[in-house]
Amino acid sequence: MSGERRQFKSVKEVPPEDYYTSGRRTCAGCGPALAYRLVLKAAGVNTVVLGPTGCMYVANAHQFLTSPYAIPWFHTQLGGGGAAGVGTAAAFRALMKKGKRRLEDVNVVVFGGDGGFADIGFAGLSMGMSYDYPRLLYVLYDNESYANTGIQASSTTPWGATTTFTPSGKVRRIGNERMKKNVALIMAAHPGVRYVATATLWPPLDLMNKVSKGLGSGGPSFIHVLVPCPKGWFTPPDLTVELSRLAVETGLWVLWEHENGRFRLTYKPSPRKHVKNYMQLQGRFAHLPASEIDMIEEVTEREWEIWAEMDRTGKLMVP
């Protein structure tokens, strides 16, 4: 069952149908909500959506008995995203092979947060990427903290960000002292993986086309989507898309894809903007002195030498 790999060349080609609609109570300017909408537009109607616990579990209902999903959706436990995708895909394959359901391409999209995929469900995600289920797409919507429980650090929280578990104090000044985990690179390192990519809300067609490529790749795929979170980043709600753009243009968020063993950058910021353009808009970095931000700029510059080399050689390296 190989699938179509529809590519959206312009906004005019984006289908008007939405499968993630009203009936939710996400925050104003919610980055994950925009990602959900774009991802499901690209995936289309023949899709099952699975949601590990996270801010997008609680924010997508709770207050009233409503559902924003116009396609089948099922909750899974915080650490269950990888397994939920495998169980769902395995059921479709078994039922189709055994003649219990008609043969058809069915997409399985699992939206895990950074807690759900980078921390507690990391092993399960890795297990999912080690199987060969086609049309199984794991989307890590990364707002860089446990945003539902009140902004606690995860392993994708960037160095220097304040969270309620990593506050900037009189003695421990920096806030989060761990480096952001590069989940996409780890997923790309799984043997035989067909498609791994990173994306954010900007450019929107980049995200949608990567979803389409992943689902059509013939195996499980993974997209790490950076999604600004006004609540956790201390940013105005109208800056969500602008922050996505700046994350890319400052080179702090690198847009790439790894397709059938070949790495390539899908956007090269030129000239790359100073990281302060992105960081200074965010309250979570407000405590960092200019010297620390300059240090991040230097690290980013060095890392980009590696990213450029990966783009040249098509091979995975660790920046």
Partner 1 sequence: MKVLTRTDLEAVQIPRKKPITGARAIAEAVKIADVDVIAAYPIRPYTGVMNALAEMIANGEFAAEIIVADSEHSQFEIAKHASAVGARTFVGSSGVGLLYAAEAIAVTAMDQLPVVALAGCRALDDPGNFGMEWNDTLFFRDSGWLVSWAKDPQEALDMTLVAYRVAEDRRVMLPHFIVVDGATITHIAAPVDTPPKEDVTEFLPPYRPHYPLDPAQGPVTKAQHIAPSLIGPEQRKHVDVAMKRSRDVIAEAWRDYADYVRRTYDPFIETFHMDDAEIALVTMGAYTVNALHAVKEVRRDGIKAGVVRLRYFRPFPAWDLEKVLSGVGGIGVLDFSYSFGSPDSAGVVFNEVRAAMYGNPKPALDFLFLGGREPKPADFVKALKVLHKYVRTGDTPEGKRVFWLTLRGEDV
> Which stretches of the chain bind partner 1, using CB under 8 A?
45-48, 50, 57-58, 60-65, 67, 69-77, 79-80, 82-88, 90-95, 97-98, 100-102, 104, 106, 123-124, 126-127, 131
Judged by beta carbon, residue 96 or residue 174, the one nearer partner 1 is 96
CB 76 within 8 A of CB 50: yes
Judged by beta carbon, residue 23 or residue 269, the one nearer partner 1 is 23
CB 78 within 8 A of CB 116: yes
CB 183 within 8 A of CB 138: no
Using alpha carbons, list the distances in angstroms from residue 31 to 37, 104, 108, 233, 236.
10, 32, 22, 11, 12
Question: In which element (H, E) is residue 257 found?
Answer: strand 256-259
Please name every residue paired with 107 in a beta bridge, in sequence order, or none if there are none. 47
Residue 17 CB: number of other CB atoms within 10 A? 11
Instruction: Say how far residue 167 (Cα) sits from the centre of its chain.
Output: 25
User: Closest separation between CB of residue 101 and partner 1, Å?
Assistant: 7
Q: Which residue has the tokens 């969270």?
A: 163
Phi-psi region of 41 (alpha: psi -120 to 50; beta: other; left: phi over 0): alpha
User: Closest separation between CB of residue 131 and partner 1, Å?
Assistant: 7
Using alpha carbons, list the distances in angstroms from residue 80 to 20, 128, 253, 259.
22, 11, 27, 26
Judged by beta carbon, residue 71 or residue 205, the one nearer partner 1 is 71
Q: Which residue has the tokens 């080399």?
A: 309
User: Closest separation between CB of residue 94 and partner 1, Å?
Assistant: 4
User: Closest separation between CB of residue 133 and partner 1, Å?
Assistant: 9
Judged by beta carbon, residue 131 or residue 159, the one nearer partner 1 is 131
Judged by beta carbon, residue 90 or residue 174, the one nearer partner 1 is 90
Q: Which residue has the tokens 């498609």?
A: 195
User: Closest separation between CB of residue 197 and partner 1, Å?
Assistant: 23
Strand pairing class (256-259; 262-265): antiparallel
Q: How far apart are CA 200 and CA 227, in angstroms?
A: 6
Q: How far apart are CA 177 and CA 200, in angstroms?
A: 24
User: Closest separation between CB of residue 60 and partner 1, Å?
Assistant: 7
Q: How far apart are CA 255 and CA 200, in angstroms?
A: 8
Judged by beta carbon, residue 175 or residue 220, the one nearer partner 1 is 220
Judged by beta carbon, residue 104 or residue 191, the one nearer partner 1 is 104
User: Closest separation between CB of residue 270 and partner 1, Å?
Assistant: 41
User: Closest separation between CB of residue 22 and partner 1, Å?
Assistant: 13
Judged by beta carbon, residue 39 or residue 310, the one nearer partner 1 is 39
